[in-house]
Amino acid sequence: MASGCGVRTGSVKNSRNGGARPRPSPFRIAARRPRNWAVRSKVQNPPEMAEPPTAYSDVLARIARAAQAAGRAPGDVTLVAVSKTQPWEAVQPVLAAGQRVFGENRVQEAQSRWESDRGEIVLHLIGPLQTNKAADAVAFFDVIETLDREKLARVLADEVQKQGRKPRLYVQVNTGEEPQKAGVIPAEADGFIAACRGAYGLEPEGLMCIPPASEPAGPHFALLGKIAARNGLSKLSMGMSGDFETAIAFGATSVRVGSAVFGART
């Protein structure tokens, strides 16, 4: 952990449990070594941690202060560093400083950035998931935060059975009932969670939301917390760069922070 502030930046235990993969030819290894070797040397056999980037350290400190202000331990909140669309030059210093939990928006982009031999990196899928990408998502991600419809639940359940791999699941709730956003509406959340458990044998561990940009975030975070509590769910993924401190005050167990860590995407 880079800052010593107690915020959870990732587990040292590799949570992936997929099977062994065929060894590529020596020519492919030689051709791809520069990028892969840099990643492996920092993830699997990290040297002494590099001095953390200022923005990253500041976010960790803000998370710790917000948790303490809410009467919570800083370690109760996990930072999910949203690396989607960020250049590797922005991601690498944060990785080198000790961050191990990252969020990606698209399956293919995540596969191209994070090789399957990624050591202890924990990956969250935080973007909408199409059913035709479900197999790849189950195989590659440790957490899928965007379960939001029965068709997807059915396909994910099938893939879990086929692959013998169970990524942790969050149900996305469209707390603002915005037509352009994914997520089950609040009035249907209880029934959907029950269907995931009963009809499909899935066990969501938490909820995720993205409040409307034009409204105060607090009421949406409070609503998500109420839905989670009455359904026996312990995890709340809520809060981004502009409102993660508010989310922590309302009980967020993980916050998804991108631009405040890496800078604005170009």
The rounded distance, in Å, linking the Cα atoms of 197 and 192 is 9
Instruction: List pLDDT tens digits, range 51-97.
Output: 789 999 999 999 999 999 999 999 999 999 999 999 999 999 999 99
DSSP string, 160-179: HHHHT---EEEEEB-TT--T
Positive or negative, the Cα torsion across 137, 206, 173, 192?
positive
Share of the chain above pLDDT 90, in %: 77
Cα 241 to the chain's mean position, in Å?
Answer: 14
For the beta carbon of residue 167, count every other beta carbon within 10 angstroms. Answer: 22
Question: Phi and psi for 137 in degrees, rounded to 5?
Answer: -65, -45
3-state secondary structure of 116: coil
Residue 219 has pLDDT above 60, yes or no: yes
Residue 256 has pLDDT above 50, yes or no: yes
Instruction: List pLDDT tens digits, range 123-179.
Output: 999 999 999 999 999 999 999 999 999 999 999 999 999 999 999 999 999 999 999
Lookup: tokens for 6: 């107690």
Share of the chain above pLDDT 70, in %: 81
Lookup: tokens for 177: 């009932």
The rounded distance, in Å, linking the Cα atoms of 138 and 19 is 13
- Comparing CA positions, the residue from 140, 202, 152 lying closest to residue 182 is 152
CATH number assigned to the domain with residue range 26-262, chosen from the 4 options 2.60.40.420, 3.20.20.10, 3.40.50.1370, 3.30.70.20: 3.20.20.10
Residue showing tokens 């235990």: 13
Give the model's confidence band at 205: pLDDT under 50 very low, under 70 low, under 90 confident, else very high.
very high
Spans of all domains in the chain? 26-262
